[in-house]
Amino acid sequence: MDKSWKRTRYSLYLGALDEAIICNLCAILFVVFRTEFGLTFEQLGRLILVNFCVQMAADLINGALINKTPARRIILIGAGATFLGYLSFVFLPKICITPYTGLMIATVIISWGCGTYEMMLSPLINAIPSDTKVQDMALLHSFYAWGVAFAVLFATLVFLGSGLVYTFITHGELTIKAVFYSGLFKCWYILPLLYSVVPLILLFNFSVMKMPEWISEEKRTKFKDFVTRPYFILVALAIGVGGGVECILSNWISIFAEKGLGYNKIIGDMIGLFGYAITMGIGRHLMGTRGESWDLSKVLIWAGMITFFIYVIAALCPVNIICLIVCILAGGMTGLLWPGALSLAGMRFPFAGALMYALLAFAGDTGVALMPWLNGVFSDMSANLGFFEYISDISKDGICLRGGLLFSSLFVLLLVVLHLCMRFVAKTTEK
């Protein structure tokens, strides 16, 4: 690796980590928002929907500017929006007409920065001179997974620390569970305040790091020459569905563990979401170290098939610990879907340039916006299902959340079909 690009690579990795924190901030606080503010599952899903709709807008607007505006300026604006977004989560729920209005405004602000990261990080890492493009892309996206794990671990420590202080001040019950929930429900706003340090670091790094150059206009594949190709359309759809499949679990696993399986918040976050992020990171790390020797198309088909069975088992299995374990293991499969499809696109259209990555980011964010929200809609629709009566002591929330996962397993089947079609198109056009 050329050491002159060291600061650039590390800055992009930190950007991916910050992106993961943003995308999972609401998921970590779902229980707070539902309990303290009385939000429905659909309203919780709507926060995710708005998050990624704004990211989609950032993809389109920045994509239109990417070949005309300096990349440094675009990514600095993104880091600035992220910083303001974290602070908005701290203050706006307290001063707006309703807390939900404040949460919605804060989500819009921070999502612009997150969308800018999503759209800029992949083409920048791809533009750095390298002979190992698949590994580079997978390693960048592995930092998203490590970012989820960091977000969960850091949040747990913050809740325990702030809860301990709150307990001493109020002379409350001094047990780990009581301390944790005191920090969670009484001091949750401290978490986004501390997270705001990350974009401050990025603002400095993005200001001084070495920027790679985009593919020159003379060498760049023309927009119409790749966007109308069947393979590009299929890979865009696969990234959208794959990103959604990944984010359904990452956004809902914590509340599924607590409200659906009966575990407490510590288990839901520290074992559920944290474990899911770790297996995702391991999967992407393996792709980053060995991906060049893989038949990537075949790997993604198998990853989709295994993920489908995991969704079904999590929804239908009456043994709660098995449901939690398979959700955790799913990260190793779902984590391959987005960076794997990006790498396939990069190999198929090596000179398409940053605009292609902007369009693929838009496609991915579309799936990530719609599918977790639809999972929330499916969950609310499942409230009166009698299908899960064979599971003893199942709560109403448990029926809702299991029903949502069962419906969402259809998305995974669609993903497998898309990758099979991509493989067919690739083979037939090569002949």
Give the model confidence (pLDDT) of 98-143 as tens digits: 888 999 999 999 999 988 888 888 888 888 877 777 677 778 888 8
pLDDT at 291: 65
Structural domain range at position 420: 3-430
Look at residue 431 and tell me whether its pLDDT is greater than 60. Answer: no
pLDDT at 255: 79
Q: How many domains does the chain have?
A: 1
pTM of the prediction? 0.78
Per 3-state DSSP, what percentage of the chain is helix, strand, and coil (rounded to 5)? 85, 0, 15
Enter the tokens of residue 389. Answer: 């009566």
H helices of 171-229, in order, are: 176-186, 190-195, 197-208, 223-227
Render pLDDT for 282-305 as a digit per residue (tens, 0 to 9). 988 888 777 667 788 899 999 999
Spatial distance between the Cα atoms of 327 and 413, rounded to a whole number of angstroms: 17
Backbone torsion region of residue 219, taken as left when φ is above 0, otherwise alpha when ψ lies between -120 and 50, otherwise beta: alpha
SS3 132: coil
Spatial distance between the Cα atoms of 392 and 318, rounded to a whole number of angstroms: 8
CATH of the domain at 69: 1.20.1250.20
Render pLDDT for 99-110 as a digit per residue (tens, 0 to 9). 889 999 999 999
**Pairwise pLDDT comparison (343 vs 82), residue with the higher score:** 82
Contact between residue 47 and residue 29 where contact means Cβ atoms under 8 Å apart: no
Spatial distance between the Cα atoms of 349 and 282, rounded to a whole number of angstroms: 27
CA dist list (Å): 306 to 309, 342, 421: 5, 20, 18
| Closest CA relative to residue 55, chosen from 126, 10, 109 | 109
Look at residue 413 and tell me whether its pLDDT is greater than 70. Answer: yes
| Closest CA relative to residue 333, chosen from 362, 301, 360, 364 | 301
CA dist list (Å): 197 to 82, 118, 217: 10, 19, 37
**Pairwise pLDDT comparison (170 vs 376), residue with the higher score:** 376
Average pLDDT over residues 377-385: 79
Average pLDDT over residues 50-74: 82
Helices 230-255 and 320-348 meet at what angle, rounded to 10? 150
Spatial distance between the Cα atoms of 214 and 202, rounded to a whole number of angstroms: 21
Q: How many helices (H) and strands (E) does the chain have?
A: 17, 0
CA atoms within 13 A on the CB side of 118: 35
Look at residue 355 and tell me whether its pLDDT is greater than 60. Answer: yes
Contact between residue 286 and residue 334 where contact means Cβ atoms under 8 Å apart: no
Render pLDDT for 180-193 as a digit per residue (tens, 0 to 9). 666 666 777 888 99
Q: What is the 3-state secondary structure (H, E, C) of 233-271?
A: HHHHHHHHHHHHHHHHHHHHHHHHHHHHCCCCHHHHHHH
Spatial distance between the Cα atoms of 365 and 340, rounded to a whole number of angstroms: 16
